[in-house]
Chains A and B, each alone.
Chain A
């Protein structure tokens, strides 16, 4: 126990959090890319000078970045120690996006700034932003068929983009010469550095007020207490081993499913051991994960289960992740990785949910749709005489849970972004939406049913274009829990010249050529059901039928509830249907 009183600890914890939140806000507000400004695909935090471990992270950071930046900050510290990059000076900012050096996919570009006090590095301020393009074979970087990282874009080891506060124009021009829509990147770089500057100013004020030594001691004590808090949450789990599995449709190149096998063991000293033994070996296509992303996927899932525990390295201490060497969850150069942050991460989280819902049935939901649902359309608009790339990222149903039915059309578990309005998309791109609707019947049946997915159908209005898809949960629906049924799997139908085409990999295909009048229809997965469908309140089933969520037939086949022509529950038939089903 340190000598700091608990009130000062609370005050410093809240103040560190405030610094990070202010960095997050500055970054989003000043950013150019909609993916950062609107979708908040970024994160800011404070990291230890010693080993880069997480001290505090903004609450509005994209969930997938929980704990990721500590890996890349640690790499930079190691590189400096080993003389593999230039030693730091005040005002420097390092840039790095190498997935194998504590990263995610190449589009996630990290900045790290040493924060000095009295001539020494006190800590690091780092942030990460998803750039809309980083070069490579396809605009936006999500190639469904890449077989090496070089096809995915420009890879940067840790280098100084800013030296003593001045941007290195040569490095900048190497970057801008290798990426698309480069003219707007200067706006994002300024936003990313502005966030670090705000952090620097606020953190300095905090240290001036409470004293460097007190804050250092508080950080150490807070880490210990966060670990204690996590252990206290874990203590509610009965000792034992819980298993969960999740499957990826395919890697985009080889048309076979990939397996994530997970066992979670609760130890007597209140730790959780995550072991991925039995998972598939590294894959040929881009559905590999790097170690840092695998770790943050576990952290992210646990944070969804225990959202009240503040983000710091201490909270991760009781979570022990065995290195999944030899599997696709620990990919090495040059394995392609563009699917790791958007899709593999969500399947890892799903495996964690599937394992822990057995241990904590009140705190964990059945599986959510859990795909980013990436559809990219690149083409030429003859009317405006310009090329374009459109991304349509979609959500799906969430899992039923002990409290309620799953949410309809929620975003990916790793994201917090909003979808673009149909009207804005139609203004900017030569496409026309024929439908944007709730996908009836898609929620997995259960005592609490899953939420519903989305259906959208787009027609290309003019010119030629190429459609590419990186989605998942097309072969397997999101898992039901504790007797609940799986949600409906997703579906893609491309209609070209009046003929329907479904991708061979169901949810992944690259460069499908489209002409004016061709259509793309996407139906996203529903959430898994929770508990047995026969236990669902017949009144709730009736309401769902009246609202058109399910048909009368589905009420009978899925829930064993009979509804009369007068829209009332046929009690007698329901009782007998349920009896037969239960037997």
Chain B
């Protein structure tokens, strides 16, 4: 494999596979050119669309120096349960841990719902062994029983194996030994030990995380091999990189080892792109707002750093506890359905038409009003420019559904009903975003709402109003932000170790020992990568809590610890800024020690995402048309601009609409939009900016 120290003069391609579209961006630093592409995703074999997108770009794979790829292969495999057959070997008495869960139910109200474990019960076997909470061995590992269990699982046709022992995070000796023994007889490399991905107490979450990893390992491995083969055939002989959910990348040749980390790879890369592009424009505190067809993702970025969480729950009963960018998924998207309930009130969501049958206007059989249809009726979207239409549907048909299903029952016209749908949808989305951003002790006025995804810029200004956020940033290429994230992301390895000890009982040497071990492991892992970073950055933090509390607060630390008093003080500050409460009378605990080792890649130029030569000299020249658009209860004649033709520093007073290939941006009456040197549009929300605080 060829090492690539510097690709600053090369050609880099970022490719992100989403639910509907596969997006591509090629940055050609030799010629200073940018190429973007969007092709339909090929769900059966995602690599097909990837190759389609590449060939559509005009670049041959052999010309490209580096390909970075965000994939939903593992996420989809899990959600659709198209996973490998996995066997599990556990401590005697504990094989049902991943089936029993944490004694929950899918919904707070209603006693319906089922849960199917990733590994069926007949493929979960037990062996004699037991470690106590202290780490002491209570029952030695029965190696003969272990071998017998593994043979049974091989005979049953298992492709991957999980070894999950109680308290292995405290003392991994039995899991390590079991792995060593079974490597000799297991027919492939797919063995996951419970403590390897995340060394944290909580047997259900650790066991499921390991099961997730094993369940998608063979699938990801095959996918990466197939893709690598296709690329080689096209003349691209190098290794390519895969995006992880932590916002970093890993070589495709190593990625299957920790396959669980690629879950949420797409959403994470969007957040990374937001942090980098807004950061270069001087904005470091962001709320990201990525609205797509079926759902909306929101994340918080402070000081250009996305929040990281170890506690993703992909769906009911499927926790994946590895460090990932904390992205909150809200069940509202362009396909969310509107209806009038039995109380005579308008509801939007949570049901969705998804992409099949989708909104009425897609012509795929959808016959219920959706958010996308409402945008169309109100003149915000141009019917001629919709990307996913199978069969054209007359606007009058959409209008008729809004009248019959909503308007007549609410005493409104079809258009008024569509306006109401947007109002309720925006309120609900803003409420959900509030809970994960400003409700966590953050002042909305300190943030910029960073809008992307196909539908984000359509709603962002209205959402910002609801949140009290004074500015909205719309990047040059909102619809391919995730692909851009692939290009700007660094190499990253994360480590978490549980200590769970009171601050006053910890010796700084103990913490420093863990930190040094984590750093060494991270540097080793980076050394294995095929890409050589330009520099290494290392970040540490502690997860802490007051004794008696269960919630954790992440406290960044600069490096090795000299006095524990400093740690206590840092924690109290972090706690105060979150809850506005000081509790000097209560002691603090250090629960986890976290380290990220980041291989910083060569920075790529981002100022040419919309080619300068295409820009018009004056605003008027970028005008595409004027059309009637519905704002706040009335039709207003609204200029519609070609986003790619806008003069770089254009200033536009709303109402206005900006159209481009991959997104539509709505500027509300009175708001002011300004372009910057990097091609971003910054919208100042008048009603918020005018408020005095």
- Interface residues in chain A, defined as those with a beta carbon under 8 Å from any beta carbon in chain B: 5-7, 9-11, 13-15, 18, 21-22, 25-26, 28-34, 37-38, 59-60, 63, 183-184, 186-187, 190, 194, 225-226, 228-229, 232-233, 303-305, 307-308, 365, 368, 394-395, 398-399, 401, 403-405, 407-411, 413, 416-419, 421-424, 426-427, 432-438, 454, 457, 546-549
Contact = CB atoms under 8 A, between A and B. Distances in A.
Contacts of B540: none
Given A6-B346, A229-B343, A426 B132 contact: yes
B284 to A, nearest CB: 25
Nearest to A228: B343
Name the prevailing secondary structure of the B interface residues.
loop
A434 B169 CA distance: 19
A403 B115 CA distance: 13
A39 B621 CA distance: 61
A6 B103 contact: no
30 contacts: A5-B411, A10-B424, A11-B423, A13-B345, A14-B428, A18-B431, A29-B551, A33-B548, A63-B109, A187-B583, A190-B581, A194-B581, A304-B109, A408-B115, A409-B99, A409-B101, A409-B103, A410-B111, A423-B133, A423-B169, A423-B203, A424-B202, A432-B132, A436-B97, A438-B96, A438-B99, A438-B100, A438-B121, A546-B122, A547-B122
B585 interface: yes
B110 A307 contact: yes
B107 interface: yes
A546 B428 CA distance: 46
B434 A419 contact: no
Contacts of A38: 550
Nearest to A224: B343
Contact of B342 (A30, A229, A419, A546): A229
A160 B22 CA distance: 61
Given A60-B108, A194-B579, A184 B548 contact: yes
A423 B166 contact: yes
A449 B434 CA distance: 42
Given A184-B548, A226-B343, A423 B201 contact: yes
B114 interface: yes
B202 A423 contact: yes
Given A22-B439, A228-B344, A37 B100 contact: no
Contact of B100 (A15, A29, A454): A454
Contact of A194 (B96, B201, B500, B580): B580
A280 to B, nearest CB: 26
B549 A404 contact: no
Interface of B: 93-97, 99-115, 120-122, 132-133, 138, 166-167, 169, 201-205, 341-347, 410-412, 420, 423-424, 427-428, 431, 434-435, 439, 500, 546, 548-551, 579-581, 583, 585-586
Given A426-B167, A548-B122, A437 B579 contact: no
Contacts of B120: 547
A407 B114 CA distance: 5
A365 B104 contact: no
B105 to A, nearest CB: 5
A346 B394 CA distance: 54
Which residue among B111, B201, B346, B347 has the maximum number of chain A CB atoms within 10 Å of its CB? B111
Nearest 10 pairs of A and B residues by beta carbon: A307-B109, A395-B103, A435-B93, A418-B102, A426-B133, A419-B103, A225-B343, A229-B343, A232-B342, A307-B110
A29 B550 contact: no
Nearest to A410: B105
Contact of A187 (B94, B102, B586): B586
A403 B103 contact: no
A214 B373 CA distance: 30
A548 B121 contact: yes
Contacts of A410: 103-105, 111
B103 A411 contact: yes
A454 B111 CA distance: 18
Contacts of A368: 111
Which residue among A399, A410, A411, A423 has the maximum number of chain B CB atoms within 10 Å of its CB? A423
A194 B579 CA distance: 8
Nearest to B169: A423
Contacts of B99: 408-409, 438
A183 B583 CA distance: 11
Given A183-B585, A408-B99, 7 more contacts: A30-B581, A38-B550, A194-B580, A398-B105, A419-B102, A422-B166, A433-B93
Which residue among B115, B343, B347, B431 has the maximum number of chain A CB atoms within 10 Å of its CB? B343
B121 A547 contact: yes
B198 to A, nearest CB: 13
A37 B105 CA distance: 18
B581 A7 contact: no
Contact of B500 (A21, A408, A427, A433): A427
A544 B585 CA distance: 54
Contacts of A7: 346, 410, 412, 420, 423-424
Contacts of A226: 343
A526 to B, nearest CB: 13
A312 to B, nearest CB: 10
Contact of B345 (A225, A417, A454): A225
Contacts of B169: 423
Contacts of B434: 18, 22
B202 A421 contact: yes
Contacts of A549: 121
A554 B74 CA distance: 39
Which residue among B104, B427, B581 has the maximum number of chain A CB atoms within 10 Å of its CB? B104
A144 to B, nearest CB: 22
A416 B93 contact: no
Contacts of A232: 342-343
A408 B342 contact: no
A184 B586 contact: yes
Contact of B579 (A29, A424, A547): A29
A413 B108 CA distance: 9
B550 A407 contact: no
A259 to B, nearest CB: 23
Contact of B114 (A31, A194, A404): A404
Contact of B546 (A10, A187, A395, A434): A187
Nearest to B420: A7
Which residue among A403, A454, A547 has the maximum number of chain B CB atoms within 10 Å of its CB? A547
B419 to A, nearest CB: 8
B171 to A, nearest CB: 12
B549 A413 contact: no
A399 B111 contact: yes
A9 B133 CA distance: 55
Contacts of A30: 579, 581
B346 A187 contact: no
Contacts of A15: 427, 431
B93 to A, nearest CB: 4
B421 to A, nearest CB: 9
Nearest to A547: B121
Contacts of B550: 34, 37-38
A28 B104 CA distance: 17
Nearest to A21: B435
Contacts of A194: 579-581
B93 A436 contact: yes
A409 B435 contact: no
Contact of A422 (B138, B203, B583): B203
Contact of A22 (B104, B166, B435, B546): B435
Given A25-B435, A411-B103, A422-B203, A32 B549 contact: yes
A416 B122 contact: no
Nearest to A18: B431
A436 B92 CA distance: 10
A419 to B, nearest CB: 4
Which residue among B96, B99, B410, B583 has the maximum number of chain A CB atoms within 10 Å of its CB? B96
A228 B342 contact: yes
Contacts of B347: 10
Nearest to B439: A22
A437 B548 contact: no
Nearest to B345: A10
